[in-house]
């Protein structure tokens, strides 16, 4: 058992980083992520870690410095949000193609424009096909636990891919919650010592990073990335099982909440899943068979396992805190609906919600469940694409 502490999500992530003690952290501030690197810089200044802290002039440079450090054999991290992730875009793809096991906490914030500093998932959903593993966190506890597990996942010899650990801006990042924290020695033992497969600084085994890669080999290297992402699925579950033995906390690809006998269900990631759980409990008391599926791992997308978990449900609403602007639902909706293609029973509808940090409370989520129950009763889908809480 660990020690209970009241922490914000950003504090918890910075504390996890302190316990992991990466060799290099490159830092550039952006709301609402700034706290993470600010807290970590205090650990560096106070001599609590031996990390080389590199302060840079932009997020593009932060990712570039992290890539350079990782290519040199260092366990390396950075952190960002929103426009910061967008400015990193070129290097985000290079990171995954170079198979560098960097872990980057991302505090979800709406992409501009118009300028907005509050939560939605347009930043990381925009990067969903960049070759990074993506893990989402409902709570402060999950943000802390996911950071520790992410290191083992990224550095596994069968994976060697970067990982984003995501949490909702201000809602989780600045919200104070009780979390159970492991002691430093336990975390150090769990993550182990980093032993890079390749490093630019080993003259006996020379390697090249960032080489020109034309028609002869580019396709094969992209396929190798895809296979590594596929293999990461097993590693994610193996690491989760080991972490459960250590903490008693269970993680997988997703969490099922009162789903096994549900007739209708909502799919929601990050903090909104916590709100949905309250609504599920209320509707269950009223006699409605409702449930929730909360994806934790979005990349690699566990389509077979999700389809199996939802195949008995009659009507499903997928709630997206990002709009893909294609008039056919949000990014999570498209993945879920595709996964359910071979399951004949469920009707799947899309809800876009909470853009730019607009509050979504229990009354809003209740409207979604009421819509699902009405569809289940009539058998007719009146609206495939829906917007929740927007002034039309």
Sorting pLDDT into bands at 50, 70 and 90, what band is 73? Answer: very high
**Where does a domain end: 247, 263, 289?**
247
* Position 326 pLDDT exceeds 80: no
Determine the pLDDT at residue 309: 98
232, 324: one domain: no
pLDDT tens-digit readout, 198-255? 899 999 999 988 889 999 999 999 999 999 999 999 999 999 999 999 999 999 999 9
**Which pLDDT does position 343 carry in this prediction?**
87
The pTM score is 0.97
Band the pLDDT of 20: cuts 50, 70, 90: very high
φ/ψ of residue 209, rounded to 5: -115, 140
Residues 113 and 214 in one domain: yes
| pLDDT tens digits along 116-150 | 999 999 999 999 999 999 999 999 999 999 999 99
- What gap in Å lies between CA 89 and CA 204, rounded to an integer? 33
Q: How far is CA 347 from CA 137, 293, 339, in A?
A: 27, 15, 12
| Cα 336 from Cα 350, distance rounded (Å) | 10
- 327 pLDDT more than 90: no
What's the chain's Rg over C-alpha atoms?
21
pLDDT at 85 over 80: yes
Co-location of 97 and 234 in the same domain: yes
Give the model confidence (pLDDT) of 352-363 as tens digits. 999 999 999 999
- Considering 247, 272, 302, which residue would you say is the last residue of a domain? 247
Q: What is the DSSP letter of 173?
A: T
| The residue to which tokens 């899309």 are assigned | 350
Q: What is the CATH number of the domain that holds 314?
A: 3.40.50.920
- Domain match, 313 and 193 both: no
Separation CA 262–CA 245 (nearest Å): 30
pLDDT of residue 340: 95
Number of domains comprising the chain = 2
At 174, the pLDDT band (50, 70, 90 cuts) reads: very high
CATH number at residue 177: 3.40.50.970
For the cut 80, the answer to whether the pLDDT of residue 274 exceeds it is yes
Band of pLDDT at residue 392, cut at 50, 70 and 90: confident
Mean pLDDT for the chain?
A: 97
Domain end call among 188, 223, 247: 247
Percentage above 70 pLDDT, the chain? 100
pLDDT of residue 211: 87
pLDDT score for 182: 98
My answer on whether 197 and 283 are in the same domain is no
Cβ(228)–Cβ(160) below 8 Å: yes
Looking at the structure, do residues 269 and 214 belong to the same domain, yes or no?
no
Q: Are 272 and 206 in a shared domain?
A: no
Exposed (0-12), middle (13-18) or buried (19+): which is 342, by Cβ within 10 Å? exposed
Same domain, yes or no, for 180 and 99? yes
Shared-domain flag, residues 132 and 213: yes
Q: Are 225 and 284 in a shared domain?
A: no
Band of pLDDT at residue 1, cut at 50, 70 and 90: low
Give me the pLDDT at residue 213, please.
94
The parent domain of residue 276 ranges over 254-388
* Helix H or strand E segment including 341: none
Q: Whole-angstrom Cα distance, residue 159 to residue 103?
A: 13
Query: Are 42 and 68 in contact, with CB atoms under 8 Å apart?
Result: no
- SS3 percent helix, strand, coil of the chain, rounded to 5, is 40, 20, 40
Distance (Å, whole) CA 371 – CA 157: 46
State whether 321 and 175 are in the same domain. Answer: no
Whether residues 157 and 279 share a domain: the answer is: no
How far apart (Å, rounded) are the C-alpha atoms in residues 139 and 182? Answer: 16
């Amino acid at each position: 058992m660990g020690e209970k502490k009241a922490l914000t999500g950003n504090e918890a992530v910075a504390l996890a980083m302190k316990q992991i003690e990466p060799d290099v952290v490159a830092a550039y501030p952006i709301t609402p992520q700034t706290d993470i690197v600010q807290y970590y810089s205090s650990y560096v200044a106070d001599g609590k870690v031996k990390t080389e802290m590199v302060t840079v002039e932009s997020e593009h440079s932060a990712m570039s410095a992290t890539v350079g450090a990782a290519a040199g054999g260092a366990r390396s991290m950075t952190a960002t949000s929103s426009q910061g992730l967008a400015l990193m875009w070129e290097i985000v793809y290079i990171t995954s193609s170079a198979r560098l096991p960097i872990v980057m906490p991302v505090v979800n914030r709406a992409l501009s424009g118009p300028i907005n500093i509050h939560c939605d998932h347009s930043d990381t959903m925009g990067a969903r096909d960049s070759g990074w593993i993506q893990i989402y966190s409902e709570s402060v506890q999950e943000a802390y636990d996911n950071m520790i597990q992410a290191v083992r996942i990224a550095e596994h010899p069968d994976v060697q891919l970067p990982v984003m650990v995501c949490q909702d801006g201000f809602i989780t990042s600045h919200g104070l919650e009780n979390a159970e924290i492991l002691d430093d020695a336990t975390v150090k033992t769990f993550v182990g010592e980093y032993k890079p497969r390749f490093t630019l600084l080993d003259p006996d085994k020379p390697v090249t990073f960032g080489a020109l890669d034309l028609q002869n080999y580019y396709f094969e290297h992209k396929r190798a990335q895809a296979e590594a992402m596929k293999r990461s699925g097993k590693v994610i579950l193996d690491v989760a099982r080991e972490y459960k033995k250590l903490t008693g906390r269970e993680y997988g690809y997703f969490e099922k909440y009162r789903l096994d006998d549900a007739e209708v269900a909502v799919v929601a990631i990050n903090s909104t899943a916590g709100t949905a759980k309250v609504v599920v409990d209320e509707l269950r008391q009223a006699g409605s068979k409702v449930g929730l599926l909360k994806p934790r791992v979005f990349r690699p997308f566990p389509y077979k396992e999700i389809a199996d978990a939802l195949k008995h449900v009659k009507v499903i609403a997928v709630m997206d805190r990002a709009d893909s602007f294609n008039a056919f639902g949000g990014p999570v909706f498209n993945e879920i609906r595709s996964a359910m293609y071979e399951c004949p029973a469920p009707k799947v509808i899309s809800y876009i919600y909470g853009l730019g940090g607009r509050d979504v409370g229990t009354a809003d989520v209740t409207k979604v469940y009421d819509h699902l129950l009405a569809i289940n009763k009539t058998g007719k889908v009146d609206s495939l694409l829906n917007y929740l809480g927007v002034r039309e």
